[in-house]
Amino acid sequence: MTGQAAHQQELRVVVADDQAAVREPLAAVLALSEGIEVVAAAANGAEVLTAVAAGPVDVVLMDLRMPVMDGIEATRRLTEEHPEVAVVVLTTFADDDSILGALGAGARGYLTKNAGRQDITRAIRAAAAGQSVLDREVQDRLLATVRVKAPAPDRALPEDLTPREREVLALIGQGLPNRGIAERLFISEATVKTHINNLFAKAGIRDRPDAVRRAIASGLA
């Protein structure tokens, strides 16, 4: 692979955090990660929108509590105006309102600031590929919230879901990532992705958090 080809495959990332003491070291660390280019650093949501408009940008690593425009509003604006740009939330907050607000606004990933560099880079790459990544604490909170708020079980899933697709949906509902599902079912991650794509299309599931809700509402999780 030539240097030019490698450069073309780099993911272009904007790092957003209102604290320079967090933003600048994080941008510097990510810039050292293979396949990632930090193209801008922003101190608030308005600066994120400006950076994305100047683009091109693949992923925004978004803090939530920022002045001028917070991360949830910035995520909502990006989802509406630049749907090709993925948002991964990186925040100290893991309360229900923050999690549901960010995911509802269109964030594809949600990490707390306890996440290490490998976790963050993995989430960035997954989001760029259209996948959702939630860290364990966030998964647990989301599952607990959905179970409390879920109505009486609705078991109406499409009849053409295969038994394996139902198994995969059940494991998503339990919070397992693709690798965990593959290990549980003794299949490859590529096969897991195929099953997920098929069941999402058949059941009209939008994303991973929506799949968790459907699994619980359908009595699979």
Report DSSP letters for 189-214, one per residue: HHHHHHHHHHHHHHHT--SHHHHHHH
Q: What share of the chain is helix, strand, coil (3-state, %, to 5)?
A: 55, 15, 35
E strand segments, 97-187: 109-112, 133-134
pLDDT at 103: 82
How buried is 82 (Cβ within 10 angstroms: 0-12 exposed, 13-18 middle, 19+ buried)?
middle
Closest CA to 18 of 70, 60, 89: 70
Q: Is the pTM of this model over 0.75?
A: no
Where does the pLDDT of residue 176 fall: very low under 50, low under 70, confident under 90, or very high at 90 and above?
confident
| pLDDT tens digits, 87-138 | 999 988 877 778 878 887 888 888 888 888 888 998 999 888 888 788 777 7
Dist. CA 101–CA 81, nearest whole Å: 18
| pLDDT tens digits, 26-58 | 999 998 888 999 999 999 999 999 999 997 999
Residue 151 has pLDDT above 70, yes or no: no
To 10 degrees, the CA torsion angle through 119, 122, 127, 132? -60
